Structures are given as C-alpha cells and as structure tokens.
Amino acid sequence: MNPSSILKSIYQHPQLNSAASEEIIKAHKKVFFKKGEIILKEGQQSNAYYCMESGLARAFAVNSAGKDITTSFFSPGNVVIEVASLFLRVPTEENIEAVTACECWKIDFSDFQALFEKIQGFSEWGRTWMTNSLLENKLRSLHMITDSAKERYLRLQKEQPLIIQQAPLKQIATYLGVTDTSLSRIRNEVAKEH
C-alpha cells in the first residue's frame, strides 16, 4: 500500500530526515474499521496505535451510572491512541470506537519501540507530539471550566467541524459536558443567529 500524505504530515519533524520518515512510515499497515466497531475495549491492553486517514472515531469511558461519556474524538490526521495503556503496558479504562467507517494506518507497539531506539530524531518527534497532546488536553480541561456550554459548542464547531457533522448528538453532548436537550437548544440558538 502507498504511504499516505497523512502519514507524511504526522511524522514531519525537523529532526527526522526523509529516509528516517520513510522507514517509520513503512512500519505501518493499512487497516479498516466498520461503523460502530470497537478498536480498543476497556480492560484490554493497547498494543498499537493508528494514524487516521479517513473517518471519525471516539474514546469513551463508562461512568458509575453506566452511561458512556465521550472523552475524545479522532479525525483524519490524528493519532488514535490510548497513551496510558500503550506506554505503561496496563489495561485501558477507556474504549475506542469507530463512529463512522474508518481507514487507518496501524503500527504495532513492538515495531514502534524498535524504531524509537534505532532512529535518531524519533524520540524528539515523540516528545513534540506528547507535548502538543498534553497542551490540547490541558486547554480542553480549562475550557470545560471557564467556557459556557454554548462557547464550548462554538469552539468545537469552529475547530473540529467534522465532529459536528458526523458524530451523533448524544456523543457530542457528553463530550461537551451537557445533556442532549441542552445541546439541541444550543444548536437551535446558533442556527437562528446565523
């Protein structure tokens, strides 16, 4: 399979020359998930991560009341990963599910580890990726506290329109920390304003 431009953009880093990037890209294989398919199930240990070519996936956890709460979404160009399970080698507390049909590039943890030790600059890429992820999560946590529900919806609509277009209302609502009813009201308000 031809490596995609998505992989090239994900692994673009000043400390990775084109030969190093090609070697990393070649370690990936194309995989497909059907709509609703579970990519990683709570209690399993993650042994791979995926680079999203097309589609939409989400991570979710089940709360004490048995309700699933969406913790993140993955769209094209994102790395689909459960960091704690993959790197700490522990069972995951989250599930990852294909919201739509998904086309991904998979790399097994063992291949990632071998390349990480072999390729100079790969650790710098990893550090940069992890720093950016940490920053995104921190900002999301802050926005959940400081922004109104409507502001959170508008931010999501602006920054990740694919989620608004393709994810079910219930998943978007739990991701934004609101009820389905509140989200419907917000969407109606926003539609009237535009």
Q: What residue segments make up the domains of the chain, in order of their start? A: 5-119
Q: Which CATH architecture has domain 5-119?
A: Sandwich (2.60)
| Mean predicted confidence (pLDDT) in 6-31 | 92
Per-residue pLDDT reduced to its tens digit, 18-29: 899 999 999 999
Q: What is the rounded average pLDDT of the residues 43-70?
A: 95
Closest listed residue to residue 10, CA positions, set 128, 185, 165: 128
pLDDT bucket at 3, cuts 50 / 70 / 90: low
Cβ atoms within 10 Å, residue 132: 10
Residue pair 107/52 in contact by the 8 Å Cβ criterion: no
Mean per-residue pLDDT, 54-58 = 97
Angle, alpha carbons 132-135-138 (nearest 5°): 150
Q: Is the pTM of this model over 0.85?
A: yes
Instruction: Decide if pLDDT at 2 tops 70.
Output: no
**What local confidence, expressed as pLDDT, does residue 1 receive?**
43
**For the packed helices 149-159 and 169-176, what is the interaxial angle rounded to 10 degrees?**
120
Q: What is the mean pLDDT of the chain?
A: 93
In this predicted model, which residue has the larger pLDDT, 4 or 105?
105
pLDDT in tens, 114-141: 999 999 899 999 999 999 999 999 999 9
pLDDT category, 193, cuts 50, 70, 90? Answer: confident
SS3 content of the chain, % helix, strand, coil (to 5): 50, 20, 30
Query: Could you read off the pLDDT of 152-181 as tens digits, one per residue?
Result: 999 999 999 999 999 999 999 999 999 999
